[in-house]
Amino acid sequence: MSDVDLTSEQYEKHREAGRILARVRDEAAERVEVGASHLDVAERAEERIRELGGEPAFPVNISIDHEAAHATPGIDDEATFGEEMVNLDIGVHVDGWLADTAITVDLSGHADLAEASAEALDAALDVVEPGVRTGEIGAEIESVIDGYGYNPVVNLTGHGLGHWQQHVPPNIPNRAVESGVELDVGDVVAIEPFATDGSGKVGEGPTEEIFALERERSVRNRQARQALEQITEEFRTLPFATRWLDVDRAEMAVRRLKQQGVLHGYPVLQEAEGTLVSQKEHTIVVTDDGCEVTTRSR
């Protein structure tokens, strides 16, 4: 038996984050329909997280069609959903202990592409146990997505979840790799297959609405200083959206902080125009006999 105490307060907070997140994800997915507002879906989900006792671990990601990650509505965003493929990626933390989940809501008529990432995630979860290598998990994901006639996105991976850290080792690849690390009891990881009818590689797009603290330093501008105080107190090292800041001229404040190396941005990651990307993600805790999925619907 393992000496990892899965009943500790740390794991209970991971589980509580997962319970909140499962509910919020399911509610948010139901709101995604043609004509609905991106900003309304994102802000209602983020507010719901707080109502249920958690905090958003990062801004709700709403990625459309060829977008794969890091898209979130800007301040006063007026975008609405069309007949598109919509990926919702949502995170929750409880005292810095995290859960991360994603689901594709297909309004585009390509249900099989959404099914490919969902079935790949199921196949990955089936092989998780202590001692499994991350490359073996990737092989399961790749096999399922290939079977649907699509490509896994190979330069996006699942990841470990740390305390106040959204991405820590190990990486969980979306394809077979020779190397890789063994998972151990107590590891908390997010597994997130991406399937696409494109080439299987994403690049950086021209926009970014999500930022995170790079390093603290003194800044002279008043709005930038106020923004930095809120960032360090509320978000610490976790990603945030400009629309979360309670300062005048928030976009200007963020721009100044980025210019001074205080913040780094997360450009939208996307496949080629005209392609589609689907995503499905759960957070798990590795147990003695497999894994516990903390973000499963209840």
Output the CA–CA distances (angstroms, integers) from residue 210 to 58, 73, 110, 229, 285, in the order listed. 8, 9, 28, 17, 27
pLDDT digits (tens, 9 = 90+) for 109-150: 999 999 999 999 999 999 999 999 999 999 999 999 999 999
Residue 76 bears catalytic tag? no
Given 43, 55, 89, 187, the catalytic residue: 89
Q: Which of 77, 129, 146, 167 is catalytic?
A: 167
Please indicate whether residue 115 is annotated as part of the active site.
no
The HSE-up count of residue 195 (CA atoms within 13 Å, CB side) is 28
Q: Is 100 a catalytic residue?
A: yes
Residue 281 designated active-site: yes
Phi-psi region of 188 (alpha: psi -120 to 50; beta: other; left: phi over 0): beta
Please confirm, yes or no, whether 146 is among the known catalytic residues.
Answer: no
Q: Residue 187 and residue 102: Cα distance in Å, rounded?
A: 20
> Residue 4 — pLDDT band, cuts 50, 70, 90?
confident
**Is a pLDDT exceeding 70 seen at residue 3?**
no
Catalytic, 216? Answer no
Q: Which of 100, 106, 208, 209 is an active site residue? A: 100
What is the reported pLDDT for 247? Answer: 95
